[in-house]
Amino acid sequence: MRKILITTDFSDNAMNALKYAVELFKYDISEFFIMHAYMDDIYTDKNLLSKENMPKVTKIISEKSESQLNQVFTDIKKISPNPRHKYHIISANNMLVDEANKIVDKENIDIIVMGTKGKTNNSKITFGSHTLQVLKYVQCPVLSIPENYSHIQPRCILFPTNYLIPYKRRELKLLCELASPYRASIDVLYISKSTKLSLRQIDNQSFIRETLGKNHLNFKTVYDKKITNAIYTYIKENNVDMLVMVNTRHSFLESILFQSTIDEMSLYLDIPFLALQNIRRY
């Protein structure tokens, strides 16, 4: 049983991510938890909000959230009446990251799927603010789907790595099982200024080879000082249709996510992006 958390703000982008998820996992027996966290919505209109009418506003927002979630549930059942899939809806007076972490822990969620941007995010950036928060702080693999992206079946998956960190078998297994039904190749890309691997790197490379063994693997090396440029160039030159990176300390993704500007870290991604091994930061 695969457990999948879908975050929604009821935007077209969020609905597109839900459609992508149910199609991507159509072969799996899965539980989908469709969640809307509405605490931010309560404080949006400062003119309406006061201590006196807080309960009234909260009730209105809560009922609206429930109603919209029920409509999403009805719509997705019509779009994908898959007997392998079971759905739950969750409306929560909470912050998105806090509620996502709570559900991940309670339900032992395997993966979070969300759109790259919501209703209010700048169209010129790749990741909206909510997506960035979840990528940085929620302890669960996160698959983010670009706006209007409709090509479901992955054929070529790019997995950049420096081989310096130990991988979690459960998360590499997720990647393996995601790629297998579509017979997707996984290109394991080592970006470095040096050709030589340490013993530690060799061990981690062997673990990848073993865990992803039932997939078609291509081990590649690119000599480049700029990680984002190397990844972006490889994506465009090799028709990659999903990017997978590990988010932990001293990883490529950590260095990208915590650069000074969103523009620098965006990678100009127009393909689905799977972040593995997310860790809590304080």
Same domain, 132 and 163: no
Say if 15 falls within a structural domain.
yes
Q: Which domain holds residue 56?
A: 2-145
Domain end (from 145, 175, 194):
145
Give the tens place of pLDDT for each residue, 170-214.
889 999 999 999 999 999 999 887 778 999 999 999 999 999 999
What pLDDT score was predicted for residue 226?
Answer: 80
What is the reported pLDDT for 260?
A: 38
pLDDT band at residue 122 using 50, 70 and 90 as cut-offs: low
Q: pLDDT (tens digit, 9 = 90+) per residue, 204-251?
A: 999 999 999 999 999 999 988 788 888 889 999 999 999 998 876 555
Domain boundary among 145, 170, 188: 145
Question: Does residue 54 lie in a domain region?
Answer: yes
Amino acid at 234: Y
Model pTM?
0.88
| CATH code (residue 213) | 3.40.50.620
Q: Given 119, 145, 171, which residue is the final one in a domain?
A: 145
Is the residue at 280 inside a domain?
no
Measured distance CA(35)–CA(8) in Å, rounded: 6
Quickly state the pLDDT bin for 137 (edges 50, 70, 90).
confident
Query: How many domains are contained in the chain?
Result: 2
